[in-house]
Amino acid sequence: EVDDVWNEAWSPLGDTMLLYSRFGQTWYEPPSTAIRLLDLASRKMTTVADLDQHAGMPVWSPDGTRFAYTADENLIAVVEADGSTARTEATSTLSGDLTWSPDGSALLAMPWDIQGKSVLLDLKKSERKATEVAIKYDSNPPFVSPPQWATAAPVPPADNLSLAQPAASNGGAQ
């Protein structure tokens, strides 16, 4: 049993789960944040990050081999399968919202203020540098979520035509 779980994120591989907890926040004390990794087969839980500041919800890479989260207002952390963590500092104040590119080669971090700059982190380069990118979007939390990467599929997959258009009468794409 784990107390204070605010949210969870299933691994794309389905074998592990990230548990995100916040606790200790009062009018005079900032929250503490913990990110734990739960192995579903063994039920073993490992604390990945135990932070004295607010961290953003962790987000799995598309292939499930690593995940990322934000911490301190301007830090992006990428945790590899072996537990090693690479941290990159951004010049923008970040909201905690992250999205992976479909191939897992980049991360996009959203700014705290929608007038601010988003941050693009290229993970293919040996020296990970945060590049500011102006993305105009309206983020009214009850109604809209931050921008997300999406794959470009000009032709729908043959096994799932519902992604783009209805099937023709012969069963193929229209």
Please check whether residue 23 lies inside any domain of the structure. Answer: yes
Q: Provide the phi-psi class of 104: left if phi over 0, else alpha when psi is between -120 and 50, else beta.
A: left
Q: What is the CATH number of the domain that holds 55?
A: 2.130.10.10
Range of the domain at 89: 5-163
Residue 169 lies in a domain: no
| pTM to 2 decimal places | 0.75
Number of domains in the chain: 1
Strands (E), 3-93: 5-10, 16-23, 32-39, 45-51, 59-60, 67-71, 75-79, 85-89
Cα–Cα dist 107/5, whole Å: 25
**Mean pLDDT calculated for residue range 143-167:** 58
In a domain, 171, yes or no: no
- And the tokens for 113? 């203020």
> CA-CA distance, 137 to 114, in Å (whole number)?
7
pLDDT in tens, 76-110: 999 988 888 889 888 888 888 888 998 999 998 88
In a domain, residue 48? The reply is yes
